[in-house]
A and B are shown apart, each in its own frame.
Chain A
Amino acid sequence: GAGVSQSPSNKVTEKGKDVELRCDPISGHTALYWYRQSLGQGLEFLIYFQGNSAPDKSGLPSDRFSAERTGGSVSTLTIQRTQQEDSAVYLCASSLNVPLGTDTQYFGPGTRLTVL
């Protein structure tokens, strides 16, 4: 079946603008994760969804960052008033989240965000 898809693949924006990044997980995967990959910080966890709720938002770097998930499927990560330090590749991953074991997270290709 189809893998995790993300859109747009590239986004260039001006400082201070808002951006929305979209993630379509693998069908049937109840768990969804956002990470970002930046030169200075490596790969960092941002937020985890189980269904439509987000029990772990501990990685969101500031209140300019928010995310939602609707219908247990598509998720949107929104960054308000973007700053240059937000420039990074934003990765989405999904998994079955099997309760008693570890489940494999499948990653999307990422959205490369550049804030000018």
Chain B
Amino acid sequence: GNSVTQMEGPVTLSEEAFLTINCTYTATGYPSLFWYVQYPGEGLQLLLKATKADDKGSNKGFEATYRKETTSFHLEKGSVQVSDSAVYFCALSDRAGGGNKLTFGTGTQLKVEL
């Protein structure tokens, strides 16, 4: 079956540091890949997505590139801010059954300090 593996947290960084959160996946077919973010006390929000190999998703300074050869979708940001403190989930979509059900990784908590 499909699965997503992401680096365990928590990750603590200083403001303006470089961020990488690793994500790898196992899937049949050609899934779409997503990063969702959950800020404290809020619901899940889509951060970025990529629908095919070599696509780069980007939003709010975050980027991730769909790498089919390494089955990876690592999240990066060049300079994190305190406001980026949240839990980040990597996910893939599976169109089995006709829908786009998401398979999530376990989430990585990021804490950014001044």
Residues of A within 8 A of B (CB): 31, 33, 35, 42-45, 48, 50, 55-56, 58-59, 91, 93, 95, 97, 101-110
From 43 to 81 in chain B, residues with beta carbon under 8 angstroms from any chain A beta carbon are 43-46, 49, 51
Q: Which residues of B contact A58 (CB under 8 A)?
A: 97
Q: Which listed residue (B43, B98, B103) contacts A50, Cβ 8 A?
A: B98
* Sample (21) of A-B pairs whose CB atoms are under 8 Å apart: A31-B100, A33-B102, A42-B104, A42-B106, A45-B102, A48-B101, A50-B99, A58-B97, A59-B101, A91-B44, A95-B100, A101-B51, A102-B32, A102-B49, A102-B51, A102-B93, A104-B49, A105-B100, A105-B102, A108-B43, A110-B43
Q: Which residues of A contact B99 (CB under 8 A)?
A: 31, 33, 48, 50, 55-56, 97
Residues of B within 8 A of A (CB): 32, 36, 42-46, 49, 51, 89, 91, 93, 96-107
> Separation in Å of the B37 CB from the closest CB of chain A?
11
Q: Which residues of A contact B32 (CB under 8 A)?
A: 102
**A62 vs B63: C-alpha distance in the bound complex, in angstroms?**
38
Q: Which residues of B contact A107 (CB under 8 A)?
A: 36, 43-45
The interface residues of chain B, by DSSP majority, are classed as strand
Contact: A55 with B97, CB < 8 Å? yes
Contact: B102 with A56, CB < 8 Å? no
Q: Which residues of B contact A110 (CB under 8 A)?
A: 43
Residue of A nearest to B91 (CB): A43
Contact: B97 with A56, CB < 8 Å? yes
Residue of B nearest to A99 (CB): B98
Contact: A56 with B43, CB < 8 Å? no
Contact: A97 with B44, CB < 8 Å? no
**A45 vs B106: C-alpha distance in the bound complex, in angstroms?**
13
Q: Which residues of B contact A93 (CB under 8 A)?
A: 44
Q: Which residues of B contact A101 (CB under 8 A)?
A: 51
New contact pairs (14) apart from A56-B99, A105-B102, CB-CB < 8 Å: A31-B99, A31-B100, A43-B104, A43-B107, A45-B103, A48-B97, A48-B98, A50-B98, A58-B97, A59-B101, A91-B43, A95-B100, A101-B51, A105-B100
